A and B are shown apart, each in its own frame.
Chain A
Amino acid sequence: MKTNTLYAIYILWLRQIKRYFRSKSRIIGSLGQPILFLVALGYGLNSVFSASGNGNYIQFLAPGIIAMSILFSAIFSGIEIIWDRQFGFLKETLVAPVSRFTIMFGRTLGGATTASLQGILVLVISLFIGFRPDIADIIPGVIFMVLIAFVFTALGTAIASRLEDMQGFQLIMNFLVMPIFFLSGALFPLNTAPAAIKWIAFFNPLTYGVDGLRAVFTTAAIHSAWTDGIVLTVIALVFVSVGAWMFLKIKA
């Protein structure tokens, strides 16, 4: 029984991985935006940023853009449940003799893995654009990427469990995902930001992901890596539970 559940989780994880590597156009397509942000903002704003005494902007920006690409990729793979429902595959999993939690967890694991891979790809690209982290920081950096990926894949799953179709997707992108990105300190330092933005950022899960990546890769972080790590882990656990609970009530 136990091994069956684990194997089912593995099978569902494998499905996500296969789909990810098969859609080469999607991988390349989703790299366009982070590259554009790194080049246009990184080079464009570097002189202004360093003139105001904040140091090299690319060093500051790269962790934010890595977090962004994970955020988008993770939310999207969670939201894919809507596609699965519309095109029927979801029913195949819902009549299978495995628990809803197993299905949700396998999917989330797969989505989080592909989102993390996306983050690692952007990290590699940022090296060519001028980002210079320590080699020793790569492993803790990847741990943060995985945490961010889990938080937002679970969030995507929770949202998708409630949405009937893709019509609501634009709404989610513009009123949830974009604000999460722009108000996380990914693009600008939060310690000099207006109080209102600071306040919003305090409740934004991505803030701790971006800050955590900065804490391990650079020296520009607000909190310690441990603080960020613990906050993110707690949020990940809460979101996976909420996602599972929402998925439990999903209708075929």
Chain B
Amino acid sequence: MTFAIVLNVLAEGVLTGLVYGLMALGLSVIFGVVRVVNFAHGEFTVIAMYATFVLFQYFRLDPLVILLPLAAAFFVIGYALQVAIINPFVGRAEHEQFILLVGLAIIIVNTLLMIFGPDARPVLLPYAFDSYAVGPLIVDKPRVLSAFAALVLAAALFGFFRFTRTGTAIRACADNLVGAAVVGLNVKRLYAFTFGLGMACVGAAGALLVAIADASPSLASTYTLLAFIIVIVGGLGSMAGALLGGVLIGVSEALAGFFFLPSMKSMFSFALLIVVLVLRPRGLLGRRA
């Protein structure tokens, strides 16, 4: 009996972790290529969550329907952001990038706070209480759908980087910036494209996260930190690492919430981060820089 419960907790952690992984994937892609640390990552995620909430509340659109259009919209936002604000900061000191994006994060959080207030806004899916029974496992339907969608999107992104010309060009920029410029790649445009892709992950993850948490402004900094922990645990710049890190953190959160207190769950994530940083500073699947 207890074993079945623990198994259920584990399954929940894995499913949640995959969605976290998709969000962190955005951060990893942006850092891996543009070398800018997006300290407003969680803030953008929460914007996507609120967008999903509004579209669901007023137009009765299912988050899974909203998913792709929202990802597309966030791609445009990311592209514009990179072109308008972030490009001049590429290659500048880390603390300068940090200030720029923290400024942006503060603006986002407080604008959301003014519009929606501090209360959490739940998205009450009609199938919120449906579940699948697989042997001793009983898993929530919304979580399963979200995790599945996250996996498909991550695979699509992976395929894009591996098999398309633009994807290959972006990888070239990440591997050798000077070389990429020498062979005539438009680095600035590719950077903007990459930032857009990273933000598309954020948009999609935001739409999927409403099945896991209620949208609230206070989630923003939590998610920024969460994305950082995941990416560092998995290895900055490694796409598979981001997903693996997401699953690890999801499982550690679920177990900590079950065996200890839900309020202590991020303590275990931070402990995991410290252990990984000390033992393997480049992350589990990260390459030596």
Partners in one complex: no
Residues of chain A having any CB pair with chain B under 8 Å = none
